[in-house]
Amino acid sequence: MSDIHQAAYNVLMLQDPLQKCEAMHKLYREWLSDEASLIILSDTDSVFSIPEPGRPLKPELVSPKLLAKRSLYTEEGRSVLMHAIAHIEFNAINLAVDAVYRFRAQPNAFYADWLKVADDEARHFAMVLKYLHEHGTDYGSYTAHNGLWEMVNKTDHDIVHRMALVPRVLEARGLDVSPAMIMKLEQAGDTAAAEILTVIYNDEISHVEAGSRWFRYHCEKQGLDADKTFMELIQLYMKGKLKGPFNEVARIQAGFANSEIESLNQL
């Protein structure tokens, strides 16, 4: 019998992207085959903040303002975009698996959700990496930023904050911007990239929905008004500012209430 939290930590700290993906697939298969073989602990004494998870030396992490920007109507521009997507998906493995490591004594369904999300993200990363290789580049060829993991660190003390800010703010941003990117890739004739982003977009709806579900679960458990708490946390962490426009249809599918959409539009 093994500790699910330690197993998740082991995946989290792997530096090689392909090893991390394979280890994540193996852990998820183990979970699906026999949940009883993975112990879920309540002890929080062994839970630590993780300034940086396992990652390769490249890409170099820089300020978002310094990231390369290219037109999607050039091959290099599409490679830059897909490199950014690869970095997001690599980080997304860590985001999901950190929730498994960090938050103890949760219902089995919580771990089932985030292990599946991490498994999906590993599959997405491999898809994008294959695209990069086919276009003569690799993960690490361009710079990237660390915004996703920085928010993980800021919310590592509170499961309500984590579920609100990571899936429902940062990852939900992908729901807003992906349809336009997919359309531009199709217009540029890059059907391979468009198809990859379409797969990621469709899966991401269910990932954000998992965040919505567990956010509301813990709000109810703590006697918090979910809609009010969400907006308060946006104010606390984002200074009340989120980029729009918002993909209202996808966000509703991902568990946002109509009242939340109205509040977001008023920001």
Q: Which domains does the chain have, with CATH numbers?
A: 72-265 (1.20.1260.10)
Please tell me the predicted confidence (pLDDT) of residue 35. 59
Please tell me the predicted confidence (pLDDT) of residue 36. 52
Please tell me the predicted confidence (pLDDT) of residue 248. 97
- C-alpha closest to that of 53 among 4, 85, 103, 91: 91
Q: Over the stretch 98-121, which tens digit does the pLDDT of each residue have?
A: 999 999 999 999 999 999 999 999
pTM to 2 decimal places = 0.95
Q: Over the stretch 130-182, which tens digit does the pLDDT of each residue have?
A: 999 999 999 999 999 999 999 999 999 999 999 999 999 999 999 999 999 99
Q: Which residues contact 6 (CB under 8 A, 6 or more apart)?
A: none
d(CA 262, CA 267): 9
* 267 vs 224: which has the higher pLDDT: 224
Residue length of the chain: 267
Q: Averaged over 49-58, what is the pLDDT?
A: 96
The DSSP 8-state label assigned to residue 41 in this structure reads P
Q: What are phi and psi of 158, to 5 degrees?
A: -150, 120
The DSSP 8-state label assigned to residue 60 in this structure reads P
Q: Over the stretch 189-223, which tens digit does the pLDDT of each residue have?
A: 999 999 999 999 999 999 999 999 999 999 999 99
- C-alpha closest to that of 99 among 147, 144, 50: 50
Q: Averaged over 257-265, what is the pLDDT?
A: 95
Q: Over the stretch 4-16, which tens digit does the pLDDT of each residue have?
A: 999 999 999 999 9
Specify which residues 204 forms β-bridges with. none
- C-alpha closest to that of 87 among 62, 50, 114: 62
Q: Over the stretch 67-86, which tens digit does the pLDDT of each residue have?
A: 877 889 999 999 999 999 99
Please tell me the predicted confidence (pLDDT) of residue 64. 87
Largest CA distance in the chain: 53
Residue 1 pLDDT exceeds 70:
no
What number of CA atoms fall less than 13 Å from residue 258's CA on the CB side? 0
Residue 66 pLDDT exceeds 90:
no
SS3 of residue 16 by DSSP:
coil
Which secondary-structure segment (H or E) carries 39? Answer: strand 38-39
